Structure 1
Amino acid sequence: MPNHTSPSPVWLFDLDNTLHDASHAIFPAISANMNTYIARVLGDGATPASQDVVDAARLGYWKRYGATLLGMIRHHQVCPKDFLHVTHDLQELQKLVRAEKGLGALLRRLPGRKILLTNAPTRYSTDVMRHLGLGRHFSHHVAIEHMHVHRQLRPKPSSLMLRRLLRKHGVAARRCILVEDTLANLKSASRLGVRTVWVTQYLRMSDPIGKASLPRTLKRPGYVDVKVKSVRQLPARLHRLR
């Protein structure tokens, strides 16, 4: 008798403001590091750039490219490795991490493979996952350093990067579910046929400087299949993702 059971999904989980509350303390700390770094780069060699100049550059590049780093590379020739190391060098990271309890049990309950897909660097995201105790639940860890297409850095929401990721893992887009807080990333994934889950509880700081426009409403966009406040609600919404 033929087996008509649907294959298990492949989950693509974002990290910051999805699996933990980065807005609480981590984003402010990264923001402070980034301000110092960008002020030095945009300064005249003796005097750092003003905060207004720094904010304008950060927000402009974040909106235009989806990541401040891409603008800094393109317009100021910064070294990506150096930028990521300096901006994500956080003292006593464990004290900054805030997350819900029971996430490990949640991940065990979800059928299928889990892949961490984060625009954060490897060292930082590995440290956060260790403090959360969630690393063992993920078969792969895809950080920003792994998001190159044709030798160009292409972090989320790059559709080219996501297509390459799906090919590498031999999985069809319709088998994948992206769990994210960032609507631009969900929209891009949906266009490829990936199912989408929007996590909303940490939206008070949607970008690293907290100045990008938050959604005027938390109404679910058409490209979002399921909206949840917390990832802990995923098992109850599984039927809507089949």
Structure 2
Amino acid sequence: MDPRLAHIRTWIFDLDNTLYPSSARLFDQIDARMTGYIADKFQVDLVEARRIQKGYFHAHGTTLAGLMAEHDVDPHAFLDHVHDIEMDVLEENAPLAAAIAKLPGRKLVFTNADVPYASKVLAKLGLGESFEAIHDVHAMDLIPKPQASAYAGLCAAFDLDPATCLFAEDMARNLAPAKAIGMTTLWVDNGSEQTPGGDDRSFIDFTCADITAWLHDHTGDS
């Protein structure tokens, strides 16, 4: 074990573009369905729908949060629609499952998606039994990362000491609130979409391009 990780008792992982590579382009399907949803709802073309979508994403943390705040969209209907996608681009990742299994302590998924979708992704990756729980957007009272309440709620729900937690996430901005409460942070920098103006990386402790390789390299599992 890397001595810088010896204090970690809880390993927290984002889901999309973190536990699978962004090159799988699974989230592209969700992104397209969000654009289509907005186009239908507001009767605009796809270019305008995408502009609206990304505006909400940048301003509110997720497209859904913006739609709820400004248009009172039903979150269950929206999530059911955008998560109705094919999972065939994902493959079982036995090395990742083995690396997670060998981590000392607790393992959790912390995602702005919902449990039904997250469970399908984990099953496809061969990670269905790898985690104690999934803390999803409903558990956050629909106030997603990077809002501070999402992180406080996670810690309260599982009685976590942030100082003994590591959080791995592909969206760099979502690591800042974790670092602010004392978590060790791992940025999975694998080419997924980032928000503009995010040049400050002072809140990132570790960076990797591939979570499987990083775990094998840093946790003594060679």
TM-score range, shorter chain: 0.7 to 0.9
Map of 1:125 onto structure 2:
118
The one of 183, 191, 208 aligned to 1:194: 183
Q: What RMSD over aligned residues (CA atoms) do the two structures have, in Å? A: 2.2
Q: Does 1:221 align with 2:221?
A: no
TM-score computed with the length of structure 2 as normaliser: 0.88
Give the aligned residue type for 2:74: C
Q: How does 1:1-242 map to 2 (within 5 A)?
A: 8-43=8-43, 49-91=44-86, 93=87, 95-98=88-91, 101-148=94-141, 153-201=142-190, 203=191, 205-206=192-193, 212-213=195-196, 221-232=201-212, 233-238=214-219
After TM superposition, the runs of 4+ consecutive aligned structure 1 residues lying more than 6 A away are: none
TM-score computed with the length of structure 1 as normaliser: 0.81
Shift of 1:158: 1.6
Give the aligned residue type for 1:139: E
Larger Rg: 1
Post-superposition Cα deviations, 1:155-189, rounded to whole Å, max 9, x if no partner, equal: 11121121122122112110111001111110111
Count residues with an aligned counterpart.
214
Alignment gaps of 5+ in structure 1: 1-5, 44-48
Map of 1:46 onto structure 2:
none
Map of 2:3 onto structure 1:
none
Shift of 1:21: 2.4
Shift of 1:236: 3.0
Give the aligned residue type for 1:50: D
Alignment gaps of 5+ in structure 2: 1-5
Q: Is the 2:8–2:166 Cα contact (8 Å) retained in structure 1?
A: no
Shift of 1:100: 5.0
Post-superposition Cα deviations, 1:184-225, rounded to whole Å, max 9, x if no partner, equal: 110111111111011112x2x316xxxx54967xxx922111
